[in-house]
């Protein structure tokens, strides 16, 4: 039988067992039925062989055994299987739990983080609004207090201002988006540490739950429940040996699950210590560059070159200094002239040059004149004879 066919047969068996139990008034989940089928098939006393294909009789036998076990209220093995199902469905390792928690937290805080990283604040009001959003993000990410409580917001704002003052918003806005997200996570851890320290010193800690009180409260509840589980009456009865074995299996299974839950924090801490760097055990070798200077003359000479013994020379220097106060020296500058400096430039001097590009000229020619004679014509019997007389004067005559 191929793997898909085997899965189809198992699903049909599980579905039929669940329907059989439901018809008898007991509702069971398919996960519970699957665990029971696996336990019965792997039990050698039931005579099932996992290497061969189940026949129709084997299927009916398996269904009957599963239904009987699931409907037996006094069976310790049923309680053991229920415990296994509950543990398998609800227990997650420390690493998986933290990864899932961080994933859910990041998905919920994504809009707030995006609103902060994409902000382009310019005015003072916009910068104040951005700072309040950062405080709210720190509170939401740490989970220690609500952003709607005034005392919690004031304490978180004071802690944030000690490490991230309002004047640093300009530098924060100039960062890249990834650097902004990284700085927000760092600020969250620092502010959370400050608030926890203040809580331990009893100088703050608004909105932070008292873990000691909560643990003691849950401990008292567990003690009350465990007192109810103690055996009140011990009676000597003849019990079935198989029931005793199944009850022992149930206790051992319960103990095994408790050990898994209890040993995980210890193993996690040991793993962290084992992963620590071995170089911390080695004495560090430090190197530095240093220099010393030896004076040529150990003793000071104590010779004042500006010393004058002559009183008149001292008076002359005093008069000179007094005169300098009222005179302008070469090194004296003003607020407007201290930036002046010498500069030179080369220019081309203008030249007196004239050019002529236009001249006037004229010419006088005779006007052509032509006289036409005989245009009127003669009689009808004679043809018209027109004579042209050129009256234009010669050039030299004009």
Q: In sequence order, which residues have a C-beta less than 8 Å from that of residue 191 and are 6 or more positions away?
A: 138, 142, 156, 159, 160, 163
Residue 239 located in a structural domain: no
Q: 274-281: long-range contacts (C-beta < 8 A, 24 or more apart)?
A: none
Query: Each residue of 55-74: b (16+ CB within 10 Å) or e?
Result: eeebeebbbebbbebbeeee
DSSP 387: E
CA 112 – CA 181 distance, rounded (Å)? 11
Whether 66 and 124 share a structural domain? no
Cβ atoms 205, 199 nearer than 8 A = yes
Question: pLDDT (tens digit, 9 = 90+) per residue, 242-274?
Answer: 777 777 777 788 888 788 877 766 555 545 555
CA 384 – CA 386 distance, rounded (Å)? 6
Mean pLDDT for 88-103 is: 81
Domain C-terminal end among 187, 208, 229: 208
pTM: 0.47
Give the torsion sign (CA, 215, 217, 223, 226). Answer: negative
CA 194 – CA 204 distance, rounded (Å)? 10
Helix (H) or strand (E) holding 371: strand 370-373
CA 54 – CA 249 distance, rounded (Å)? 28
Q: How many CA atoms lie within 13 A of 336 on its CB side?
A: 0
pLDDT of 338: 58
Residue 233 located in a structural domain: no
373 DSSP β-pair partners = 387
Closest-CA residue to 34 (of 54, 62, 56): 62
Question: pLDDT (tens digit, 9 = 90+) per residue, 3-56?
Answer: 666 677 788 888 888 888 888 887 888 888 888 888 888 877 777 776 777 778
Query: Each residue of 6-45: b (16+ CB within 10 Å) or e?
Result: eeeeeeebbebbbebbeeeeeebeeebbbbbbebbbeeee
Q: 82-88: long-range contacts (C-beta < 8 A, 24 or more apart)?
A: 82/32, 83/250, 83/253, 83/254, 83/257, 84/35, 84/253, 85/29, 85/31, 85/32, 85/35, 87/257
CA distances in angstroms from 259 to 194, 223, 227, 248, 256, listed in the order given = 35, 19, 21, 16, 5
Share of the chain above pLDDT 70, in %: 82
Residue 237 located in a structural domain: no
Residue 45 located in a structural domain: yes
pLDDT of 287: 80
CA 206 – CA 146 distance, rounded (Å)? 10
Residue 186 located in a structural domain: yes
pLDDT at 315 exceeding the cut of 90: yes
pLDDT of 372: 86
Domain C-terminal end among 71, 91, 110: 71
Whether 135 and 202 share a structural domain? yes
Where helices occur in 1-123 by DSSP H, the ranges are 3-23, 30-42, 56-70, 76-90, 94-117
- What is the DSSP code string of 164-186? S-GGGHHHHHTS-HHHHHHHHHH
Tokens of 20: 């059989």
Closest-CA residue to 365 (of 394, 343, 340): 394
Which band of pLDDT confidence, cut at 50, 70 and 90, is reported for residue 308? confident
Residue 363 located in a structural domain: no
Which band of pLDDT confidence, cut at 50, 70 and 90, is reported for residue 232? very low
Looking at the structure of the chain, the number of domains it has is 2
Which range marks the domain in which residue 50 is found? 3-71
Whether 63 and 139 share a structural domain? no
CA 167 – CA 131 distance, rounded (Å)? 10
CA 65 – CA 62 distance, rounded (Å)? 5
Whether 66 and 141 share a structural domain? no
Helices vs strands, H then E, count in the chain:
12, 2
């Amino acid at each position: 039988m191929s793997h898909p066919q085997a899965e189809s047969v198992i699903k049909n068996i599980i579905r039929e067992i669940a329907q059989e139990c439901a018809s008898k008034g007991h509702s069971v989940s398919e996960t519970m039925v699957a665990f029971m089928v696996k336990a019965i098939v792997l039990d050698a006393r039931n005579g099932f062989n996992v290497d061969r294909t189940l026949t129709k009789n084997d299927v009916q036998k398996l269904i009957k055994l599963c239904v009987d076990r699931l409907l037996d209220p006094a069976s310790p093995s049923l309680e053991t299987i229920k415990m296994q199902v509950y543990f398998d469905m609800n227990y997650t390792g420390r690493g998986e739990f933290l990864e899932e928690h961080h994933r859910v937290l990041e998905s919920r805080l994504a809009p707030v983080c995006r609103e902060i990283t994409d902000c382009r604040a310019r005015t003072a009001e916009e910068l104040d609004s951005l700072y309040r959003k950062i405080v709210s993000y720190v509170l939401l990410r740490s989970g220690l207090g609500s952003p709607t409580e005034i005392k919690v917001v004031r304490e978180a704002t004071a802690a944030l201002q000690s490490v991230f003052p309002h004047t640093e918003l300009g530098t924060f806005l100039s960062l890249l988006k990834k650097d902004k997200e990284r700085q927000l996570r760092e600020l969250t851890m620092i502010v959370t540490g400050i608030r926890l320290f203040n809580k331990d010193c009893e100088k703050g800690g608004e909105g932070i739950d008292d873990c000691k009180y909560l643990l003691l409260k849950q401990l008292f509840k567990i003690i009350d429940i465990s007192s109810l589980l103690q055996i009140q009456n011990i009676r000597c009865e003849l019990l079935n040996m198989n029931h005793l074995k199944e009850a022992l299996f149930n206790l051992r299974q319960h103990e095994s699950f408790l050990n898994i839950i209890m040993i995980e924090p210890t193993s996690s801490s040991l793993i962290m210590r084992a992963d620590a760097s071995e170089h911390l055990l080695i004495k560090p070798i430090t190197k530095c560059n240093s220099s010393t200077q030896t004076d040529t003359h150990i003793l000071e000479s104590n010779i004042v070159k500006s010393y004058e013994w002559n009183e008149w020379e001292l008076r002359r220097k005093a008069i000179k200094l007094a005169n300098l106060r009222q005179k302008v020296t070469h090194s004296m500058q003003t607020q407007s002239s201290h930036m002046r400096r010498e500069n030179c430039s080369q220019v081309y001097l203008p030249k007196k040059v004239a050019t002529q590009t236009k001249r006037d000229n004229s010419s006088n020619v005779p006007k052509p004149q032509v006289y036409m004679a005989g245009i009127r014509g003669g009689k009808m019997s004679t043809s018209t004879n027109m004579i042209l007389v050129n009256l234009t004067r010669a050039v030299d005559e004009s």
